[in-house]
Amino acid sequence: MVRLGFIIGLIALIGVLLSGLAAYRVHQQELTIDNIALARAIDVHASLVQDRLSERELLARVTSGLFRLPSMNKANMLEPLRSSIYAFKTDFLVAGWVARLNPGDLDAARNDLKRAGFPDTIRNIEGKPLDTHALQQPVDLLMDVEPRNVQTAAFVGRTLDGNPALSTMLSLAMGEGKPYASDPLPMFHENGPYSVVLAAPVMLPDASSPAGFVTFSYDLASLMLTNDDLSLFSVVLKDPRNVDGEFVANDQGVVSERRVNVEGPAPSSVRTISFGNRDWVLAYYAKTNVTRRAEQTAAIVGVIGLALTVVICGLFGYVAYNNLRMSREIQVRIGFERRLTAVIDELNHRVKNILAVIQSIITRTLRHGADIDVARELLIGRIHAMSNVVSLLSESQWQGVKLKGLFEARAIPHADRIAVSGPDIAVSARAAQSLSLLFFELASHSDEGLSLVGKHPNIVATWEVTGEEPDGVFHFRWEEFNTSEATRRPDSDFGVILLDRVAPEALGGTSTRYFTDVSYVYELTAPMVTVIDMTERDRTEQLSAPVRPVKS
């Protein structure tokens, strides 16, 4: 009996010790995993918010840089830029042109507002008419909005100097010469949705102060990227006007203001993001108590261990299985983070390439002495061609674009007059960008004048692939019939460089252009290994493959 009791006591002691050890291990592992998951989710959320804000600030910078100001008091300043600002797809509520006018310019501004169909009365921010003759200082007058509707048009003709948030924003943007964001404020009316307004100064050449501001207002809820019921946390935006205030969004995305509960739990994490030359603080509150949850799990494991002291091996089996499961989850998370880093690096590389192409397009198009109207149309068309090919590449996960898709009417001028024939091969991302600009450049010159027979020239675009892999050769031919050197406008400087050097070099081939007795011909020859670029497709397929746990 003594021996039996000793054995039973020893087994019980071993069972208690093993149960306690197992409970402690589970507690630590659950606590670690939950904290890692929460921290990772918060980092991803803050990064997405920063990316969205950076896109919106980039839109303001680009728009202010595209402005041309023959007159500051025009009420249709946004007209040439509407297609460009909508191409960014940043979901702004209202875009506006705010002119900084001296008192003597207000009569001309009033007349221009009347011609544009807006109210011709200069009013303060509350909508009450102003005595413009009594003004002594320049005023910031809202002259144009986008979109134009009954709600937004009512604000045109109002000065923004009477609103503390907006006037402070414009003063700081003017002083620093950079885009500046306002404090959160209700949009349209006192009970309207909270929004943030971003103002970018527009500078005249050789001027020391801005001629006006391009403004974009954004719904605060969309910028905060509020989470649904399944998220690990809830996010609030600290009120920059009041240290005791914060903005929070409900499940429907409606943002409201509240006071900080000093007696409530502290935020699990705080992240600072930058927007409009200001720092914004996001506070994250965990929806579950991680410590309590870990303690509850450990208690359950301990009770089970004490109840099953006679099956110590089974208990060790459970712990081993639990450790293996946790190890696999950690391996999957590590693999996912590595894959995410590779995807981000690849995306950065492709975005830099696209931005370099766009920079070259803008530099060559807006060269010194160019006609601004012609240059603007060419610039918009070339950027639309780039936008179209990027959209096609995104739809195919950057695994190539069907060549016939590059001749769609939304990207190529006069596409209905182009007869296209050839195998519908999938070209690589690099080749698609070069060919899209090449087709646009050829098509944009085909309608400059009438042909030899008094009609628009007929165009035939053909291509073929000769030879066997991997020595196949791509042949492309563009021919405009009933066209001569006398009737066709010469190619622009950018077009010549693109046709003769950029496109052939990008595809590793050669090109030639010449006139026959009845047509204008452009031919391009390149090896298929650069047109298709299988290494790029294989790399994209590897990055898009799902992450799988490591088998033990």
Rounded CA separation 184/165 (Å):
8
Count of C-beta atoms within a 10 Å radius of residue 273: 19
Residue 153: predicted pLDDT = 85
Nearest CA among 495, 525, 526 for reference residue 512? 525
pLDDT by residue (tens digit) across 444-499? 776 654 444 456 668 899 999 998 877 889 999 999 888 877 777 777 777 778 78
pTM assigned to the model? 0.50
Answer whether 510's CB lies under 8 Å from 473's CB.
Answer: no
Rounded CA separation 142/97 (Å):
6
Rounded CA separation 325/296 (Å):
19
Q: Please give the full DSSP string across 499-536, using - where no structure is assigned.
A: IIIIHHHHHT-EEEEEE-SSEEEEEEEEEHHHHH-HHH
Residue 320: predicted pLDDT = 54
Residue 146: predicted pLDDT = 87
Say which residues have a Cβ less than 8 Å from residue 409's Cβ, sequence separation at least 6: 415, 416
Answer whether 487's CB lies under 8 Å from 454's CB.
Answer: no
Low-confidence ranges of the chain (pLDDT < 70): 1-5, 69-73, 225-229, 310-324, 339-340, 342-357, 359-371, 373-375, 377-378, 385-386, 389, 392-393, 395-399, 409-411, 446-457, 533-552
Q: How far is CA 273 from the centre of its chain?
A: 16
Determine what percent of the chain is predicted with pLDDT higher than 70. Answer: 79
Residue 69: predicted pLDDT = 65
Answer whether 159's CB lies under 8 Å from 174's CB.
Answer: no
* Cross-strand partners of 246: 238, 258
Tokens for 394, please give them.
Answer: 């995104």
Residue 550: predicted pLDDT = 47
Count of C-beta atoms within a 10 Å radius of residue 320: 10
Q: How far is CA 141 from CA 107, 132, 145, 171, in A?
A: 12, 12, 12, 14
pLDDT by residue (tens digit) across 260-283? 888 878 888 899 999 999 999 999
Residue 272: predicted pLDDT = 92
Answer whether 238's CB lies under 8 Å from 165's CB.
Answer: no
What counts of helices (H) and strands (E) characterise the chain? 14, 18
Residue 281: predicted pLDDT = 92
Domains and CATH numbers, the chain: 2-60+296-337 (no CATH), 68-295 (3.30.450.350), 352-537 (3.30.565.10)
Answer whether 502's CB lies under 8 Å from 434's CB.
Answer: yes
Distance spanning both ends of the chain, measured CA to CA: 46
